[in-house]
Amino acid sequence: MSILTAPVSVDSRELEGRVAVVTGGASGMGLATVHALARRGATVAVFDLAVLGDGDLASLPADRVRPVAVDVTDGDQVDRAFASLLAEQPGLDILVNAAGVAPPTPFEFITENEWSRVLAVNVNGTFLCCRRAVPAMRSGGWGRIVNFSSTAGKTISTAGGAHYTTAKHGVLGLTRHLAKAYGPDGVTVNAVCPGLIDTPMTRGLLPEESLEKATRSFPVPRVGQPWEVAELVAFLASDRAAYITGAAVDINGGDLIV
Ligand SMILES: NC(=O)c1ccc[n+]([C@@H]2O[C@H](COP(=O)([O-])OP(=O)(O)OC[C@H]3O[C@@H](n4cnc5c(N)ncnc54)[C@H](O)[C@@H]3O)[C@@H](O)[C@H]2O)c1
In angstroms, what is the span from residue 241 Cα to ligand 1's centroid?
Answer: 24
Which of 164, 175, 224, 233 is flagged as catalytic? 164
* Predicted local distance difference test score (pLDDT) of residue 34: 97
Query: Which of 199, 211, 225, 252 to mutate for ligand 1's pocket (most ligand atoms within 8 Å of CB)?
Result: 199
Residue 108 makes CB contacts below 8 A (sequence gap 6+) with none
* Predicted local distance difference test score (pLDDT) of residue 203: 96
Domain 19-251 has CATH 3.90.550.10: no
Query: Which of 123, 149, 169, 201 to mutate for ligand 1's pocket (most ligand atoms within 8 Å of CB)?
Result: 201
Active site residue 164: yes
* Predicted local distance difference test score (pLDDT) of residue 62: 87
Report the alpha-carbon distance of residue 257 to residue 66 in Å, rounded.
37
Q: What is the sign, positive or negative, of the torsion defined by CA atoms of 56, 59, 62, 68?
A: negative
In angstroms, what is the span from residue 251 Cα to ligand 1's centroid?
Answer: 16
In angstroms, what is the span from residue 201 Cα to ligand 1's centroid?
Answer: 7
- For the chain, the helix, strand and coil percentages under 3-state DSSP, each to the nearest 5: 45, 15, 40
Report the alpha-carbon distance of residue 38 to residue 164 in Å, rounded.
30
* Predicted local distance difference test score (pLDDT) of residue 11: 57
- Series of mean pLDDT values for 10-residue runs along the chain (258 residues): 77 91 98 97 97 89 94 98 96 98 98 98 99 98 98 96 98 99 98 98 95 96 98 97 98 97
Residue 127 makes CB contacts below 8 A (sequence gap 6+) with 174
- Furthest-apart CA pair in the chain: how many Å? 51
Angle, helix 162-182 to helix 125-140, in steps of 10 degrees: 20
* Predicted local distance difference test score (pLDDT) of residue 202: 97
